[in-house]
Structure 1
Amino acid sequence: MKLFRMVAVLALVVGPAFAQDAPHINLMADGPSKTDDEKAADAARDKAYKETLRKIPDAKASSDPWGGMRADPPKQPAPKAAAATGAPKKPKAGTAAN
């Protein structure tokens, strides 16, 4: 009885390994081949599809979905006229002049 149990356990363990090593056989028969009319219809359908794809314009817009939510980048300050003329600066109110 002990031998029977060991053989049964061994068969359960080894069985899946043999099933994975089995030759790969296609049991499904391939479908019937297409007739010349069906092949011509497929070719015409593919040609019409490709022509339709050419009619679609390319999207040039940005693909950034958060682009409208961001703030504009900071602008460069304009050069001050006083710095260009070399005029002396006036001290600010409340500061001591040297």
Structure 2
Amino acid sequence: MKLFRMGAVLAVLAGPAFAQEAPHINLLADGPSKTDDEKAADAARDKAYKETLKKIPDAKTSNDPWGGMRADPPKQPAPKAAASSAPRKPKAGTAAN
């Protein structure tokens, strides 16, 4: 029984290796070749396509990868209230040292 299993394993492993060495046969029949008019029409179509591609402007890309995630631009922080640089006067009734 072990011999049968080993033979099955070898057959499974050898199958893909044997298929690589098989002759390559094209089973699809080649279609009829194109006429001179069809070749000229294809060339004109390709030329028109390439000219159209040249007319498309290059898109400017954004450097912000998260730009689509934000709904509105970032808000500027509120300006801080200007604190006076003059020293405070002591309250009445307190002793100054």
TM-score, length-scaled by structure 1: 0.50
1:74-98 alpha-carbon deviations (Å, 9 max, x no partner): 8xxxxxxxxxxxxxx433688xx99
Displacement of 1:37 in angstroms is 0.6
Cross-structure match for 1:58: 58
2:38 partner amino acid: E
Gap runs ≥5 in structure 2 = 78-84, 91-95
| SS state at 1:62 partner | coil
TM-score, length-scaled by structure 2: 0.51
Q: Point out the structure with the larger helix share.
A: 1
Q: 1:26 to 1:90 in 2, by over 3 A?
A: same
Which segment is superposed worse, 22-31 or 64-73? 64-73
Cross-structure match for 2:81: none
Cross-structure match for 1:46: 46
Cross-structure match for 1:31: 31
Cross-structure match for 1:90: 86
For the pair 1:71 / 2:67, whether they are aligned, the reply is no
Instruction: Output the aligned Cα RMSD.
Output: 3.9
1:3-37 alpha-carbon deviations (Å, 9 max, x no partner): xx95xx46x81662433321222222322221111
Cross-structure match for 1:20: 20
1:17-61 alpha-carbon deviations (Å, 9 max, x no partner): 433321222222322221111110001101111121122222125
Q: 1:47 to 1:13 in 2, by over 3 A?
A: same
2:11 partner amino acid: V
